[in-house]
Amino acid sequence: MESLMTLRARASPVAASPLQQRRVPGRQRATPVRASAGGEPDLSVRVNGLQMPNPFVIGSGPPGTNYTVMKRAFDEGWGAVIAKTVSLDAEKVINVTPRYAKLRAEPNGAAMGRIIGWQNIELISDRPLETMLNEFKQLKKEYPDRILIGSIMEEYNKAAWHELIERVEESGVDALEINFSCPHGMPERKMGAAVGQDCDLLEEVCGWINEKATVPVWAKMTPNITDITQPARIALKSGCEGVSAINTIMSVMGINLKTLRPEPCVEGYSTPGGYSARAVHPIALAKVMQIARMMKEEFADGQSLSAIGGVETGNDAAEFILLGADTVQVCTGVMMHGYPLVKKLCAELQDFMREHNFSSIEEFRGASLPYFTTHTDLVHRQQEAIKQRKAIKKGLQSDKDWTGDGFVKETESMVSN
């Protein structure tokens, strides 16, 4: 079997763009953490210069919506927290309720049973930016060694992006995640997925962001696109230190067969929203795999990958890391199971690592990525394997092949039972 070092080897880098060649102090690429000597499996990771006790990150959304809940996340032991997305003018953000709907494993209309899907029509933060920034400052004062990441989204306006970045950075956040992926809300203002789905627009906006930002920048990708590697490539070439994937999938959760109205139902009406939870995990794995392969083939400067999608167990996280993820984000999982979920995730991930004798995350990160190929190659591999199996002699082909020393074994080779 190939060594893990061989599996992790990266292709030669492509030529760096001017933005990639420029290095701003504090903006670092992903750095491998060396394996610990003996003891329990080490879950710590160092990503873009950010040291985390474990790879589990609170994903941007309700679990990072204010000081109280973000403080709880740090107290429970999450590796990092990404706050709910903020913009300059929160007055334009008006949420409705109910704004969530659940999909259960049972038939449509079942009130109980395991939740496999979750939909939200929630917008970004409706709290004043100054309020959120003051809470960021307080959190960094109380938890100076913990990682707080600001999630930001703005209209198609360079000055607005620059103002937002400056104000959020002044609050002391360790990095920025750019929301290029919210599938609903305000596309008419060229916000969220409206940018992430348009590579020309994305390249321009990423240019604005990276000429201003002095902390690491992660671009959050939308799955609501034909080829997710295209915007991911643009973001990295434009200077972003990492990408996050995936945000929620555009969906209609279902129709109430008693009322004939769609869910979630607000005054009898609804709108398409973002789909998350367990049911999206296989889709997220495919998107993360595609991005990881592209990054391995085209980038060799330590750009990071943060995986998102249906994580409720340590094994879910292990799958993402095996595909090349540096960190794993959880949002809906926290909404369903609470902040103590991180302890279960860490314990289960360590159980996986013990089973395979891995002492650090880096030892198995990306180890499964080389085993993806094309369908044409699968056909070729199977045809070759069949030829080899047929080439193995079943018994003796001729009386001249009998030998004295191997007579008993040669006899057995031709017995059917």
Q: Which residues are catalytic?
A: 182
Distance CA 240, CA 175 (A): 11
Beta-bridge mates of residue 58: 81, 330
The answer to whether the CB of 241 falls within 8 A of the CB of 304 is yes
What b/e readout covers 291-302, taking b as 16+ CB neighbours within 10 angstroms? bbbbbbebbeeb
- Neighbouring-strand partners of residue 273: 251
Q: Which alpha helices (H) appear in 124-190, and where do they start and end? A: 129-142, 158-170
Asked if 315 and 281 count as a contact pair (C-beta separation under 8 A), the reply is no
Q: Dihedrals φ, ψ of 139, to 5°?
A: -65, -45
- Separation of alpha carbons 242 and 210, rounded Å: 12
The answer to whether the CB of 118 falls within 8 A of the CB of 104 is no
Find out whether 148 and 173 touch, Cβ atoms under 8 Å: yes
The enclosing H or E element of 274 equals strand 273-276
Q: Edge-to-edge strand order for the sheet containing 115-120? A: 100-104, 115-120, 273-276, 249-251
User: For residues 194 and 203, what is the distance between their CA atoms, to the nearest angstrom?
Assistant: 13
| 283 vs 224: CA distance, rounded Å | 11
Copy the structure tokens of residue 248: 């929620």
For residues 163 and 148, the answer to whether their CB atoms sit within 8 Å is no
The amino acid sitting at 35 is: A
Cα gap 270→252, rounded to integer Å: 9
Bridge partners, residue 84, by sequence = none
| Per-residue CA distances from 149 to 136, 158, 287, 322, 352 (Å) | 9, 21, 23, 24, 28
C-alpha neighbours within 13 Å on the C-beta side of residue 122: 21
* Closest of 72, 127, 122, 123 to residue 334, by C-alpha: 72
Q: Amino acid identity of 203?
A: E
